[in-house]
Amino acid sequence: MKRFLIEVRPELCTGCLRCELACSEVYTGAFNPSAARIKVQVSDNECSISFTEDCTYCGICVDHCFYDALKKRLEEKA
């Protein structure tokens, strides 16, 4: 599987959780934000985007973000 470095731009994140939905569905077979390997927390003033240890850097979450808050970096993750 291809692996990517994922760049995050929290200021563009809307909290739509499309990334968490997609990740959880691919890896657990069910839509379940709490089981996603990406964690997004948005408040009025801040946003944090992080990845759990078992993230495979497959980039699927990036494909599902419509707001450019996640970007694949050209070089692949080692």
Q: Which two tokens stand for residue 55?
A: 């993230």
| Contact flag: residue 15 with other proteins (CB under 8 A) | yes
Say how far apart CA 32 and CA 74 lie, in whole Å: 29
The contact mask relative to other proteins for 20-49 (x = CB under 8 A, - = no) is -xx-xx--xxxxxxxx-----xxxxx-x--
Residue 55: name its binding partner from other proteins, ligand SF4, none (Cβ under 5 to 8 Å by kind).
ligand SF4
Half-sphere exposure of 78 (CA within 13 A, CB side): 0
- Which SS3 state, helix, strand or coil, does residue 72 take? strand
Residues that bind ligand SF4 (CB under 6 A): 13-19, 23, 37-38, 40, 49, 51, 55-61, 64-65, 67, 69-70
